[in-house]
Structure 1
Amino acid sequence: MRANDRWVLLAGLFWGAIAWAAAEGPGRNQFIRAVRSSGPVVVDGRLDEDAWARAPVFDGFVQRFPDAGKAPSERTELRILHDDRNVYIAVTCHDSEPALINRSLGRRDSELYADRVLVLLDTTHDHRTAYVFSVSAGGVQADGLHYDDRLYSADWDGVWDAAAGSIESGWVAEFSLPLSMLRFPAAPVQTWGFSVRREIARKNEELESVLNPRTSNAVVSRLGHLTGLEDLKPRRAVELVPYLAVRTVARPQFSDAARPWPRLVDPSLDVGLDLKAALTSDLALTGTLNPDFGQVEADQLLLNLSTFELFFPEKRSFFTQGMELFQPVGGQTMPQTLFYSRRIGLRTPILGAAKLTGTVMPGVQVGLLDALVTGPWLREVDEERPDRRLGLYLTRPLHLGPNDALSTEPAVPMNYLAAVVRAQVGTNSRVGGMVTLATPLTGTCRPEDAALDEALRPLPCLARGGNAAAVDFDLKTADGEYGVLGQLTGSQEVGGLPERTLRDGTVLRRESTGLGGYVRLGRFGGEGFRWELGDDFSSPTLDLNASGFQRTQNEHAPRLALRYQRPNGMGPLKALFANLNAGTGWTTDGRGINRGHWFNLDTSVQLPSFDLIGMELGADIGGWDVRELGGTGVPLEQSSSGFLALSLESNANREVSVGGVVLVSRRLRAGPVAPAWEGLVDVYGTVRLHPALETRLELVLDRTAYAARFIAHLDDDHFILSPLLSESLSLTLRQQWVVTPKLTLQAYAQLFTAYGAYGPYYAGVSDASRRAIHFASLVPVERENTNDFHDVGLNLNLMLRWEYRLGSTLYMVYSRGQQRFPVTGSARPPHTLLPRGLWAGAAQDSLMVKWAWYWGV
């Protein structure tokens, strides 16, 4: 199919789906009424105020799982009050066996397996976005946000109160939700989307005030209605959270890993501020000045031997809260993401950032984020005579620390801007667009500067920016069962070197532009058979990685999925899922090089015991790798492989639960390279022998065999290649002790080891036309093995979190990061997963105390 035909087809699907989805669908006909409180309400888990006795009682709950639509096994009563400042919700959870109520404790926002109550509120009544508030029978609070109707993020946080109380026949969940925290339009009478969900842990039973089954491809649009909210006035609240962080770091004096001693102790101090303000009833401003994320858990240690960048989840609070608008349509699994917040502030400190989110007119949401990163750095540091004086710099004015602790990595000043708009179409669809700008604040890199060695290039040559824009659509039938979603994307290079070469040999020049997009069409909800057609396209010069995330470019990849889904069970099974997926790909650079085919079939069933077992088999078939050979774009034949995986996940509501995956793969012969077995074992267990304690241990063992990896580029046409056998082991411990729901102790430790063994070596030959290299053409050559590796790492984190008053926290965090002592001289790295050399290696220890105080009006 020609490119023009492809875009015509996508445009036809786009506008046809708009017309199809714009028709009004059936709304939820349930209405639950709130009444104004006749007096003050104290949130203590005891419904002893007169106002609660006068509130209407709703008890028409139905099962959501495991028997959707049927009568619940236990009675639940719902009451709702409001005054000029808060909405109060009380849920009485009757239980025929109150001694068996699960009151397990956990830290705030933890993934808790306990009896609990969740409240869903669509305060703007847009049928796409809903706040979620929950409290467990042990009093543990959590909150999050549903967006795009069906997607969920646990990253949103608000300042609100809740309590759990015990009664003779069960327990009570009581919520106080400040109006200042909620966005809703100014109107004399409010109608909100609303639902209350109750989870009974020991029965794996979910009850809900409105029928909202798992089979649907919708959540928010299926909510009932909350009425009786009269004369509520949006409150333009301001929340300020200043913080003070004191940190001490013990680190090696020398950057050479072979000289871990002596060590220096670096004290530092940071002050900063977080701000939230309601500019209008529907528009909120969030800002941060010199943010510190020292309490955030370190990234998992991983071995990445691929030619693709790994995606890491965001954990920093400023970039997790209120970011649902900035997510790509279809979620983070989509191939082209314009805004990836981890591009901001991981190398160069954030001086300040702000985001504006909200509704500017009925059905139209907007988001605007701007962040400035800058900081002091030194091109060279005299490590023999370190400068131990404390320094304060204009580029980082709220940080005080030793001069010799400054980074020697270039701190490129950058400004990041992301703007997004989403408009509702009909009752359950939307269209939108996004623009992102990553702008270096350094000037222009001159050709003569670019010709210098990298260590001597001035800052403008070390910068890399880019602009990107996209239009997107998510169009569904009113019940969410059928839909089409997608995105059309463009990019432009900005700043940095006059040109650079990508892994597949594509040359990107300043001002280069690229095009891309993706589409998904299918039946996404309902019982029984579902299907999905997809297509991903990216031109060779599409580059979103200045401010977004794009795994690869230069690819056209259609795909197909056939699914049989029974989330409400079938016969004695509580759930059944079967999925067949297949796809292929080829380059878009005019050569049409096959990048490989793949398919997989996976099935899983939930047993009457609520244990989940699964099986998956699949294969990667042939194709050519255009990214492996050192940025030349010469296609290298890929080996075919097949795999079989078995999985188990026991009922997580038990005191002891286990799970894991065992995968076995066979890589076929690749010319002179013999076939090889590969495998993955990922097993974990969780122990909760006491409501306040939880221990989780996970072991991951991976063995991967690569047929031919790039070693050296001898000249324009000759390459040295070698098979690689790599093994890695990761052992992770997570320990949690909940003293109270407001005071928690957490421990995290990961030991990671890996080795790689190369050899024998082969020569491959191409030509000026970039002729493909076949496995059969590889010729053995003699070469000294200097490529083997052995890595060992340890991450340790201990954190105390105390919410000493509502919204105010005190953190004490100790962390340690350590790497093995490097293999030196002519010694060959050992082929073992034992942590040899770890304790002799360089280590960095950090102790931080961070105090944050919440002040709200």
Structure 2
Amino acid sequence: MHLHRLLPMLFGALFFCSSYAQENESLTKKVYTTKFLNENEAPTIDGIIDEKSWDIVDWTGDYIENEPDENTPPTEQTKFKVVYDKNYLYFAFKCYDKDPKGIVKRLSRRDGFEGDWVEINIDSYNDKRTGFSFTISASGVKGDEFISDNGNNWDGSWNPIWYVKTNVDDEGWTAEVKIPFSQLKFGNNKEQVWGLQSTRRYFRAEERSVWQRVKRDAPGWVSEFGELRGLVDIQPQKQLEIQPFVVTQLETYEKEPGNPFRDGSDAKINGGLDAKIGLTNDLTLDLTINPDFGQVDADPAAIALDGFQIFFQERRPFFVENKNIFNYQFADGQDNLFYSRRIGRSPQGYPNTSNGEFVDVPNNSTILGAAKFSGKTKNGWSIGILESLTDNEFAKIDDNTNTREALVEPLTNYIVTRAQKDFNNRNSFIGGIFTATNRNLQGDELNYLRKSAYTAGFDFMHNWKNRKYYFSGNIVASHVTGSKEAIANTQQELTHLFQRVDAGHVEVDPNRTSLTGTGGKFELGKNSIGNWRYYGIFTWRSPELELNDVGFLRQADDIRQIGILSYQTLKPIGSFRRINARFEQFTSYDFDGNHNRTQYSISSNANFKSNWAIYYQFTHKPKIFTNTILQGGPRFRYSEEVINTLNFATDSRKKLRFDSGIVVSQGKDNSFSYTEFTTGITYQPINAFTVSLYPGYTINKSKTQYVTETSFGSTPRYIMANIDQRTLSASIRMDFNINPNLTIQYYGEPYISRGKYKDFNRVTNPIAKYYGDRISIFDSNQIAFDASNDSYSIDEDANGTVDYSIGNPDFAYVQFRSNLVVRWEYIPGSEIFLVWSQGTTGLGNPNDDLFRSLDSQILGKKPENIFLIKATYRFLF
């Protein structure tokens, strides 16, 4: 079957099915009233519900199915009780099962969510937008997440201290839970009213049932919770946690003769302290001294031929916690006023050296200290203040006779402040953000860096008609200052490109010492009730907008309009558990009025009752212009493009499971193409062990791949070529879980990318409709390869004299990274890590095939090894 026929079939299924919309009836909020335990009556947390302390309250149950068939009786029922004392909140669960031997007790690391489980969601702020989630698997593995944006964001980086035990008996399985009040946030009212929800996963049917019914077309998750009452005179717990750590590290690598910085091994020991102080029960102060911000997982390998920076996820614990409060994603994509990986970044400078000198540049800037004040008050204020100071970083330079240092990153201070206020019965909010980056630039050593950068923003959201409709928006402004050199560099960066030769609205001003820009987003739409959703979005980024000192901005000078229409089924239909479909279109312009892109896409994903899933997307780009591909040259046109994407996945519950996908992109007149194959296989022979392999292969071909800019006399020349790039990668993961608190994990990924160029050409008419009219290919009389210099000599006018030369752009990049991590949480909140990281990076021969590069650059090369032991102890007061 052709791919383009699949989507109409899925849409047809939508319209053959019932198109009714559930009535907008108001659901009765369930209420559970808990009671206080007297001193010395606390239950023992052993998973067996036999203590008399549980008898002071009643069971509540009557769970209702939420997935796949909403508002029907679940296969198995669940019930729970809640009691409390002055320090803890206790839950007891009975998860009934007619076949206790069939209960799936898969082990995983924390937040693995494997097998049968039951979950508690608590909205202790009672703000209808945020909550704390605690998940208990039948095997005793804990999961915990901070919920924000009314259930649209679940942050698994939140790791509170709490206690759980489970047990299987003749009626099913049971769980007992103890949650310290110090791990929750709430006000000091005499009687608390909290939002409460509980979800159970019945693994064999892949079924979710909930205590408080939530309709499939509800406007969110947290806003639909039931209520927990009876919490009287509980005192806000002023949390105090201190977590010292010590790290020992040994690094081994291939010795480099003559290089004093590469003698074969390095060893170091480091220590520091993290602290968490509850100034009130709502607001927490996080401190770190000499932090260890090492990452257990390595960033994935990637090559950006377009020159743009690559966005990587934050994994460092200090920055991850409460990151939802500091988030300010102001337009679309990953653009954000706060991108925490700027703090502690790799040094931006590099010293000038002479022949015979060796250089040692630090991998990252040293974070001297950081403090973060954050939380949410009972009055609806979300507040975040972060400050961090990074040290001067010096490169060491040694010629085996003399040693010197050169500054490569200056002392830098970062400040981020964020606030939001809920009102209108939690249906609306307004907020703001301010960031500041100040570098201590002395002398001319790093004068090309910006001295200071400031950003500010205002955001809002309003929901009405029971959150059926919404209007949201934000406005941002930036101001950067620096030397004439620094601001001239900023104007010419790929993000801005003021030097574009055909731009009528921007130009490089070499005398400027500051830039000021704006951006923002407005969005209006229908977000709940019935099968249909629709959204309209308008965004802009002015040419001078600059966020990349402590934020992330890919490209400025952009105005965009987006329209989205989506459909979802509310009940299983025929062979389908669920079907979703979506139509999206957007157009983009620059501030010169150029219409740069028109794009349409239509997509659908379907989940079958067999728990298989399929996804298809068709995208058409009838108009594509880019201001950036020639990196300062004129606006360039790409040919009309069509993209087909198809993915499928087998039942994720099976011990042996697969998923696979293909992306096929084709430019008109065969001007470019992109094909990506991905697949994955996961095998779990026993509950404690899982192994997975995810290989991928891409083929990228383009007859107009930018190479470089040069000049012919006084006339600029923009050189392009026909590229054939092949990339092969394969991530390998193995997880062995001895028990919920002791795990062994392995991750490895070889990555090989090879690019070969031919048919070099120069741009002649960059906006011609036919790609062949945009370029002029050099013939054999005009271009010759100089093997001795590994470059191409070009005699453009064919008069026998070389007019200019360009380096050979062929490349072969090879990388292998792996991590073996043993993690032991020996007491709640305190851990020991044993880590072995291995990696190698090399430049292969572009004329070799991918597997030969794998053999010579990975298997045949001595890797670098890092052996690390990290121990933490978490004091909780």
TM-score, normalization by structure 2: 0.85
Give me the whole-angstrom Cα distance separating, in 1, the residues matched to 2:158 and 2:654.
28
Superposition deviation, residue 846 in structure 1: 0.3
Matched with 1:580 is 583
Q: What is the correspondence of 1:553-592 to structure 2 with a 5 Å cutoff?
A: 553-566=556-569, 568-588=571-591, 590=592, 592=593
1:245 and 2:254 matched? no
Superposition deviation, residue 295 in structure 1: 4.8
RMSD of equivalent CA atoms: 2.6
Matched with 1:62 is 64
Superposition deviation, residue 713 in structure 1: 1.7
Letter in 2 for 1:810: I
Superposition deviation, residue 571 in structure 1: 3.7
Give me the whole-angstrom Cα distance separating, in 2, the residues matched to 1:546 and 1:106.
38
Q: What is the correspondence of 1:462-473 to structure 2 with a 5 Å cutoff?
A: 462=449, 465-473=452-460
Give me the whole-angstrom Cα distance separating, in 2, the residues matched to 1:533 and 1:422.
24
Query: In the alignment, is the contact (CA less than 8 A) between 2:29 and 2:225 conserved in 1?
Result: no
Indicate which of 505, 524, 544 corresponds to 2:547. Answer: 544
Query: In the alignment, is the contact (CA less than 8 A) between 2:294 and 2:316 conserved in 1?
Result: no
Query: In the alignment, is the contact (CA less than 8 A) between 1:727 and 1:833 conserved in 2?
Result: no
Give me the whole-angstrom Cα distance separating, in 1, the residues matched to 2:36 and 2:155.
31
Q: What is the correspondence of 1:636-655 to structure 2 with a 5 Å cutoff?
A: 636-655=636-655
- Runs of 5+ unmatched residues, structure 2: 1-24, 347-364, 499-507, 786-791, 793-807
SS of structure 1 residue aligned to 2:318: helix
1:181 and 2:178 matched? no
Give me the whole-angstrom Cα distance separating, in 2, the residues matched to 1:682 and 1:260.
43
Give me the whole-angstrom Cα distance separating, in 2, the residues matched to 1:577 and 1:661.
18
Superposition deviation, residue 464 in structure 1: 5.9
Q: Structure 1 residues 465 and 797 mapped into 2: Cα distance closer, same or farther (>3 Å)? A: farther
Matched with 1:426 is 424
Matched with 1:492 is 479
Q: Structure 1 residues 215 and 34 mapped into 2: Cα distance closer, same or farther (>3 Å)? A: same
Q: What is the correspondence of 1:504-515 to structure 2 with a 5 Å cutoff?
A: 504-506=496-498, 507=508, 509-515=512-518
Matched with 1:714 is 710
Letter in 2 for 1:526: I
Matched with 2:44 is 42
Superposition deviation, residue 646 in structure 1: 1.6
Give me the whole-angstrom Cα distance separating, in 1, the residues matched to 2:250 and 2:109.
26
Give me the whole-angstrom Cα distance separating, in 2, the residues matched to 1:317 and 1:304.
28
Query: In the alignment, is the contact (CA less than 8 A) between 1:611 and 1:649 conserved in 2?
Result: yes
SS of structure 1 residue aligned to 2:126: coil
Matched with 1:475 is 462
Superposition deviation, residue 379 in structure 1: 5.0
Q: What is the correspondence of 1:1-400 to structure 2 with a 5 Å cutoff?
A: 29-38=29-38, 39-110=41-112, 112-151=113-152, 152-254=154-256, 263-328=263-328, 334=333, 336-347=335-346, 348-360=365-377, 362-382=379-399, 384=400
Q: Deviations over 1:583-618 (max 9, x none)?
A: 111111x2x223222121111111111211121111
Q: Structure 1 residues 149 and 749 mapped into 2: Cα distance closer, same or farther (>3 Å)? A: same
Q: Deviations over 1:779-815 (max 9, x none)?
A: 1222535111111110010000000111110000000
Matched with 2:526 is 523
Q: Structure 1 residues 757 and 604 mapped into 2: Cα distance closer, same or farther (>3 Å)? A: same
Instruction: Say which is worse superposed, 293-302 or 68-77, in terms of deviation.
Output: 293-302
Letter in 2 for 1:490: A
Q: Deviations over 1:240-289 (max 9, x none)?
A: 00000000111345599xx9997521111111111111101211111111
Query: In the alignment, is the contact (CA less than 8 A) between 1:307 and 1:627 conserved in 2?
Result: no
Give me the whole-angstrom Cα distance separating, in 2, the residues matched to 1:565 and 1:612.
15
Query: In the alignment, is the contact (CA less than 8 A) between 1:518 and 1:534 conserved in 2?
Result: yes
Q: Structure 1 residues 653 and 481 mapped into 2: Cα distance closer, same or farther (>3 Å)? A: farther
Letter in 2 for 1:194: L
Give me the whole-angstrom Cα distance separating, in 2, the residues matched to 1:481 and 1:223.
17
Matched with 2:501 is none
Give me the whole-angstrom Cα distance separating, in 2, the residues matched to 1:495 and 1:379.
26
Q: Structure 1 residues 710 and 358 mapped into 2: Cα distance closer, same or farther (>3 Å)? A: same
Q: Structure 1 residues 437 and 261 mapped into 2: Cα distance closer, same or farther (>3 Å)? A: closer
Q: Deviations over 1:291-318 (max 9, x none)?
A: 2133520011122222432221111111
Superposition deviation, residue 463 in structure 1: 5.2
- Runs of 5+ unmatched residues, structure 1: 1-24, 388-403, 450-457
Q: Structure 1 residues 462 and 328 mapped into 2: Cα distance closer, same or farther (>3 Å)? A: closer
Q: Structure 1 residues 556 and 194 mapped into 2: Cα distance closer, same or farther (>3 Å)? A: same
Instruction: Say which is worse superposed, 337-346 or 704-713, in terms of deviation.
Output: 704-713
Q: Structure 1 residues 378 and 85 mapped into 2: Cα distance closer, same or farther (>3 Å)? A: same
Superposition deviation, residue 545 in structure 1: 1.4
Instruction: Say which is worse superposed, 163-172 or 704-713, in terms of deviation.
Output: 704-713
Matched with 1:678 is 674
Give me the whole-angstrom Cα distance separating, in 1, the residues matched to 2:700 and 2:390.
39
Residue identity over aligned pairs, in percent, reads 24
Query: In the alignment, is the contact (CA less than 8 A) between 1:760 and 1:780 conserved in 2?
Result: yes
Superposition deviation, residue 640 in structure 1: 2.2
Matched with 2:611 is 610
Q: Deviations over 1:49-94 (max 9, x none)?
A: 1111332110121111111111222121110010000000111101
Superposition deviation, residue 478 in structure 1: 5.4
Q: Deviations over 1:480-508 (max 9, x none)?
A: 33212221111111336242112252248
Give me the whole-angstrom Cα distance separating, in 2, the residues matched to 1:202 and 1:572.
18
Letter in 1 for 2:524: L
Q: Structure 1 residues 568 and 818 mapped into 2: Cα distance closer, same or farther (>3 Å)? A: farther
Query: In the alignment, is the contact (CA less than 8 A) between 2:100 and 2:168 conserved in 1?
Result: no
Give me the whole-angstrom Cα distance separating, in 2, the residues matched to 1:436 and 1:26.
42
Give me the whole-angstrom Cα distance separating, in 1, the residues matched to 2:333 and 2:110.
30
SS of structure 1 residue aligned to 2:253: strand
Matched with 1:848 is 868
Give me the whole-angstrom Cα distance separating, in 2, the residues matched to 1:261 and 1:494.
36
Q: What is the correspondence of 1:411-450 to structure 2 with a 5 Å cutoff?
A: 411-427=409-425, 428-443=427-442, 449=444
Give me the whole-angstrom Cα distance separating, in 1, the residues matched to 2:260 and 2:623.
46
Matched with 1:832 is 850
SS of structure 1 residue aligned to 2:276: strand
Query: In the alignment, is the contact (CA less than 8 A) between 1:113 and 1:652 conserved in 2?
Result: no
SS of structure 2 residue aligned to 1:549: coil
Query: In the alignment, is the contact (CA less than 8 A) between 1:578 and 1:601 conserved in 2?
Result: yes
Give me the whole-angstrom Cα distance separating, in 2, the residues matched to 1:290 and 1:819.
29
Indicate which of 800, 803, 809 corresponds to 1:787. Answer: 809
Letter in 2 for 1:470: G
Letter in 2 for 1:778: I
Q: Deviations over 1:112-144 (max 9, x none)?
A: 331111111111111111011111000111111
Query: In the alignment, is the contact (CA less than 8 A) between 1:96 and 1:170 conserved in 2?
Result: yes
Q: Structure 1 residues 215 and 655 mapped into 2: Cα distance closer, same or farther (>3 Å)? A: farther
Letter in 2 for 1:419: T
Give me the whole-angstrom Cα distance separating, in 1, the residues matched to 2:243 and 2:542.
45
Letter in 1 for 2:815: G
Matched with 1:401 is none
TM-score, normalization by structure 1: 0.87
Query: In the alignment, is the contact (CA less than 8 A) between 1:634 and 1:766 conserved in 2?
Result: no
Instruction: Say which is worse superposed, 565-574 or 266-275, in terms of deviation.
Output: 565-574
Q: Deviations over 1:717-775 (max 9, x none)?
A: 322111222111110101000001000000000011111111211112489xx999975
Give me the whole-angstrom Cα distance separating, in 1, the residues matched to 2:633 and 2:57.
71
Indicate which of 465, 484, 493 corresponds to 1:502. Answer: 493
